[in-house]
Structure 1
Amino acid sequence: MSDSDDDMTEPANLRFLRRLVTVLTVVMICGVLVVIGLLVTRLGNRAPDLPDQISLPGGAAARAFTQGDHWYAVVTDQDQILIFDRLTGKITQTVDITSP
């Protein structure tokens, strides 16, 4: 080997490609950290407040539950949706489900 082999410089397009890969790696790592941060903050919220007890009329059994800001609803096995007031726990509306 001669001294001229050790002094070889890398071509400009290869240097550009190496820098581009480095920048893209840094951007990808930052993006993954942002996604993880968003998942932690969004999914880390406390669970919604659920009522301690719900009394269903007529021996109905609950099939599904959903809630809003001021109400919650229970879908029963008797094909009804019972909508309750969150503050009082009283039924405010009953919706019958009909099959087509």
Structure 2
Amino acid sequence: MSQTPDPEKLPEPANLRFLRLLVTVLTGVMIAGLLTILAMIVISYRSARAPLPEIITLPGGAIATAYTQGSDWYAVVTESDEILIFDRASGDLRQTIRIESQR
């Protein structure tokens, strides 16, 4: 008969138990932190969006090619290389910017 002890019956060293607990706690903290960051990104994205206007009437039959918006304005880029900036509250045209090509 052999005098070597069975490895499964040996007590676990205290420092190994502490290390196992530390890794488990840190894993939980990392998962909670990641979920918190993702939740904050989703919340800030939803609150940052301003509602789109129902109807945008473009002057002179202009055709829109792009749209962007700010906090109190929205802008439409037309096929005729103009940027039309509208007031969000009233829907009135604030400014027209002509884009010149450098050919």
Scaled to the shorter chain, the TM-score interval is: 0.7 to 0.9
Partner residue of 1:48?
50
Distance 1:46 1:69 in 2: 9
**What's the counterpart of residue 67 of structure 1?**
69
Q: Please, what TM-score do these two structures have when normalized by structure 1?
A: 0.74
The answer to whether 1:95 aligns with 2:88 is no
Structure 2 gap ranges (5+):
none
1:85 and 2:98 are equivalent in the alignment: no
How has the CA–CA distance of structure 1 residues 91 and 44 changed in structure 2, closer, same or farther, with 3 Å as cutoff?
closer
Describe the shift of the 1:26–1:47 C-alpha distance in structure 2 as closer, same or farther (beyond 3 A). Answer: same
Instruction: State the Cα deviation string for residues 41-66 of structure 1 (Å, max 9, x = none).
Output: 23444852222211212221111112
Equivalent position amino acid for 1:95 in 2 = I
Structure 1 residue runs of 5 or longer lacking an equivalent are none
Q: Which amino acid aligns with 1:61?
A: I
Question: How many residue pairs are counted as aligned between the two chains?
Answer: 98
Residue identity over aligned pairs, in percent, reads 54
| Aligned residue type for 2:97 | V
Q: Which runs of 4+ in 1 moved over 4 A?
A: none
